[in-house]
Chain A
Amino acid sequence: ILNVEQSPQSLHVQEGDSTNFTCSFPSSNFYALHWYRWETAKSPEALFVMTLNGDEKKKGRISATLNTKEGYSYLYIKGSQPEDSATYLCAFPPPYSGAGSYQLTFGKGTKLSVIP
């Protein structure tokens, strides 16, 4: 059973503050790490797919880094805005064993609330 841990579970920040949170995953047989943003009453939205150790990806004020050797990824939000309020999920696939689909194991998420 793969164990994907996210911390903190929830986070309240003031508008304008920068913040970050962590996703920890098994470092052996790494293939990819996914970050999703899930706003209330909406579909989870894909943010990043990260595959290489040392990867850094950016989308607007949100960026993510990846360390596959130690098994963690950080998600950073610079200058948080109320619209950033959401649950941020990371997900990790099992060792790839063939062509076609693969399942994702999700963490419980970090719920971010940005206070205006």
Chain B
Amino acid sequence: GAVVSQHPSRVICKSGTSVKIECRSLDFQATTMFWYRQFPKQSLMLMATSNEGSKATYEQGVEKDKFLINHASLTLSTLTVTSAHPEDSSFYICSAQTAGLADTQYFGPGTRLTVL
């Protein structure tokens, strides 16, 4: 149980285009989903937290107009990288959580984004 899928696993796009990444909880309802980014040799850095039906909360330094997050249902959240640039190339990974103080976050397998 507690499987999270993420699609696509890898995407290459041209500079200036927008890319949408989907994160789905397959066998449970996720009250909260998180989006992280990881640069080489760095830790997972939280970008934003989204609760179903409400606006996402972005971490300091993360542009909300560039990284659009939609959490339309209890099983789906999407991250859209708008007008992508080479510096947005990174590994993006989502996680999903059910309500509770010490509940585990269940992670997707991640998406490798390369912007040319």
> Which listed residue, A41, A99, A107, touches B43 by the CB 8 Å rule?
A107
Q: Map CB proximity to B onto A66-106 as digits: 1 under 8 Å, 0 otherwise.
A: 00000000000000000000000100000010011111111
Q: B41, A31: Cβ atoms under 8 Å?
A: no
> Which listed residue, A4, A43, A89, A108, touches B108 by the CB 8 Å rule?
A43
Q: In the complex, what distance in Å separates the CA atom of A41 from the CA atom of B51? A: 27
Query: Which single residue of chain A is at the shortest CB-CB distance from B104?
Result: A46
Q: How many residues of A contact B (CB 8 A)?
A: 26
Q: A101, B97: Cβ atoms under 8 Å?
A: yes
**A-B pairs under 8 A by CB, number:** 59
Q: B107, A108: Cβ atoms under 8 Å?
A: no
> Which listed residue, A43, A99, A106, A108, touches B110 by the CB 8 Å rule?
A43
Check A26 for interface membership: any CB of B closer than 8 A: no
Q: A101, B108: Cβ atoms under 8 Å?
A: no
Which residues A27-77 have CB closer than 8 A to chain B? 31-32, 34, 36, 41-46, 49, 51
Min CB–CB distance B54 → chain A (angstroms): 10
Which residues B14-55 have CB closer than 8 A to chain A? 31-32, 34, 36, 41-46, 49, 51
Seen from chain A, the residues whose Cβ lies within 8 Å of a Cβ on chain B are: 4, 31-32, 34, 36, 41-46, 49, 51, 89, 96, 99-109
